[in-house]
Amino acid sequence: MYPVNSAKFLFLRALLLLSLIHAPLIVTGADWTPITREEVLAVIENTPEGNAPDLKVKDFRGQDMSGIDFRGADIFYTHMRGVNLSGSNFENANLDLAIMPDATLESVNLRNTTMNNSELGGANLKNADLTDAEFVAKAKGANLEGATMIRVKGGANMDNQSMGMLRTILDYANLKDADLQDADLSFCTMKFGNLVNANLSGVNLTWCDLSKADFTGADLTNVNLTSAKLTGTIFKNIKGKDTIIGLDTARDVKSAEFDQ
């Protein structure tokens, strides 16, 4: 994390504000620096030990970035739409505000990364490892089938929402067979999400919009559904129903589908 008085922190706040108020300005007005695979490898190789490779505000588009060791790199606000990143290692990297729609991240190591307000719509993260990642990301329609998301920190910080609600967006996402044990996804939106056979033991889903999401066969042991919206949500053949926290406070729970 960066000191609160650093230029990078102020830049992040400014871009977060623009992304909420003037999204088209960010997409069309940023001055991303194009960089080739060879140049990326050179930056990583020539970075002194203990320092973060500086790959922020770069343009990876049109390049094959698979199999690269990005561990600990600063990839803040870099453009990676549709880029092949399979087999790469992003452990401990800074991917805040990274633009990654439709990117290929299958089986990628994203442990302990920061992905706050990153764009991952339609991205392929099948079997990716996001253990302990900060993931207040926009991942509508992303494929997270079989992903490991243990202890993911994706809950909205309600003490710091002066620029508008920053929440995890997983509408229409595929989380079939994903492992989300002890993750915090409070205030998320997961409408029409596929969570069939997912492990949500101990997950915090307070105030989440789970309308039309499918939890068939999922493990909901000690999941927290306090004030969650359950319009048409499917809870067939789930495990741990009797341990669910806050089900009596959930919104529109009468329209949810449980086993008889």
For residue range 82-98, list pLDDT tens digits in order: 999 999 999 999 999 99
The model carries a pTM of 0.86
For residue range 195-214, list pLDDT tens digits in order: 999 999 999 999 999 999 99
The owner of tokens 């998320």 is 188
Assigned token pair, 156: 């909205």
Cα 73 to chain center, whole Å? 18
Could you give the 3-state DSSP secondary structure of residue 7?
helix
CA distance linking residue 233 with residue 173, whole number of Å: 15
82 or 161: which carries more pLDDT confidence?
A: 82
Domains of the chain, each with CATH number or no CATH: 1-143 (2.160.20.80)
Could you give the 3-state DSSP secondary structure of residue 54?
strand
Per the CB < 8 A criterion, the answer to whether 147 and 129 are in contact is yes
Q: Is the pLDDT of residue 8 over 60?
A: no
Could you give the 3-state DSSP secondary structure of residue 59?
strand
Alpha helices in 122-235 (DSSP H): none
| pLDDT attached to residue 168 | 96
Label residue 245 by pLDDT band (50, 70, 90).
very high
